[in-house]
Chains A and B, each alone.
Chain A
């Protein structure tokens, strides 16, 4: 049954929607700026029970729990960035230190087209957005591997003492376009080789959360909608339905 809210509650819920969008937009800037550790500390769940069930999803699976998320999102990324710097080190003697980390690299990740619903009980929220971004990794010869990227963002947020926090975040990569190349000249390939698949790492809970070859097949089922309270089924975390075919979601 649809709950009736007081005027005061309605105003607060207007702001809840704005705050939820802002959390995901802040995530986009932290993500682009490689301030990943700061992001985890500022935007993600803090309460111990929520930290245990926090999840970061990529196409190939979930990292579950803040410890695993940190290992992937911060440590693994640092390793990736250091590999780019090593090429400069080998060619030009650039020091392998924090000051030079990111040399020749750039990224922008956006969070456009937000669709947000706050649970009737006000405890959780669901967000869907579209990321149109790019990444570029320079090379010591002055060239770069540059890619534009497109993909969906799904996120469950939970209200903690100091506001809305990211609980489950799923970044689904659809397309990775090499800059200056004709994407439509590439053959359609069900195995879907992604030139930046290394970004997915090795999830702790490996499974197909998102298969770009079948795209947004379950958009209608997965997109946020008005809801009373969070359930496992609705969740964008590992207990939810993302990536599951209809006959698993609704067995007969």
Chain B
């Protein structure tokens, strides 16, 4: 590919590729501390075609992504902090969102391709991450959770700046450091008819496209290539739907939009026991 492009085009694409790595890392750390506003204001494209998908479905449009990822997230952080200081007054005077955070969606196995036209970039990663913290959700014990996922990410070059356009997160595995055996435990859950799928995505407040977009590991799960690693490509429009991380939403300028049916809205309840979207029970019956 590099032979076809001018030096300047190749340089633009190389900088784009490195910017993808920068944004992915910035997101990982800011997300780890619940500093959502600081990433969504800075890196994300304010487009109706901006999307963020997880196990539970896809948020569509910057406004919906912001509602869930900033408003909803801050709400949860504040609620958790309010509970934590009842148990640990040492946290008084410390940051509401970030104090006590130390878990990260670790970045590994990166594959990054920038379009020949220099207007978009696509990336996929494995993220063998941690959801660890000095104080767990019960405010009594520590948290020692690990969560391993795959990422498919798309970026657009708009107004002279690389901006985050689409994200799709695919959780596969989770467990506790270092107890139990994830593969055997999931098997036992299955044969005891106590295996749930779709519980690794958190609890969004609103979704335009709800649905189980990626199933976490079970003994009966077939191979899922939900976010295929990007191949070299010419322009985002040419990426086939089955390879895209947001099918049909290739236009960052909002001239071409995908028709949206009625939005699925769940009343947010921080204490909600179950995910309103996506959870299913699966078992040997």
Contacts and interface: CB of A to CB of B under 8 A. Distances in A.
A104 B88 CA distance: 40
Nearest to A147: B178
A179 B101 CA distance: 22
Contacts of B143: 184
A214 B99 contact: yes
B222 interface: no
A182 B178 CA distance: 5
A29 interface: no
A156 interface: no
Interface string A177-210: 1111111111110101000000000000000000
B87 to A, nearest CB: 8
Contacts of A183: 132, 142, 144, 176-179
B111 to A, nearest CB: 16
Nearest to B90: A190
B153 interface: no
A181 B11 contact: no
Contacts of B14: 11, 14
A217 B8 contact: no
Contact of A150 (B8, B15, B132): B132
A130 B128 CA distance: 12
A16 to B, nearest CB: 11
A112 B106 contact: yes
B14 to A, nearest CB: 6
Contacts of B35: 219-220
B18 A14 contact: yes
B26 interface: yes
A148 B130 CA distance: 12
Interface size class of B (residues with CB under 8 A): 35 or more
A7 interface: yes
A148 B87 CA distance: 28
Interface string A220-252: 100100000000000000000000011000000
Nearest to B108: A112
Contact of B130 (A7, A150, A181, A219): A150
B101 A185 contact: no
Given A150-B102, A215-B101, A115 B29 contact: yes
A9 to B, nearest CB: 11
A112 B130 CA distance: 13
B11 A10 contact: yes
Interface in B1-15: 7-8, 11, 14-15
A246 B98 CA distance: 13
Contact of A223 (B26, B99, B135): B26
Nearest to B25: A115
B283 interface: no
Interface in B84-106: 87-88, 90-91, 93-95, 98-102, 104, 106
B38 interface: yes
Given A113-B104, A216-B32, A181 B178 contact: yes
B7 A7 contact: yes
Interface string A1-32: 00000010011001001000000000000000
Nearest to A186: B142
Interface in B123-144: 128, 130, 132-136, 139-144
A12 to B, nearest CB: 11
A219 B29 contact: yes
B107 A112 contact: yes
Interface in A124-161: 128, 130, 132, 148, 150
Interface in B106-161: 106-108, 128, 130, 132-136, 139-145
Interface of B: 7-8, 11, 14-15, 18, 21-22, 25-26, 28-30, 32-33, 35, 38, 87-88, 90-91, 93-95, 98-102, 104, 106-108, 128, 130, 132-136, 139-145, 176-179
21 contacts: A10-B15, A113-B104, A114-B21, A132-B128, A132-B130, A148-B177, A150-B130, A175-B102, A175-B132, A181-B179, A182-B176, A182-B179, A183-B142, A183-B178, A187-B142, A215-B33, A217-B94, A217-B95, A219-B33, A220-B30, A220-B38
Given A14-B14, A181-B178, A190-B90, 9 more contacts: A113-B106, A148-B178, A177-B177, A183-B178, A187-B141, A188-B141, A212-B102, A217-B99, A223-B29
Q: Lowest 3 A-B CB distances belong to which pairs?
A: A183-B144, A182-B179, A215-B102
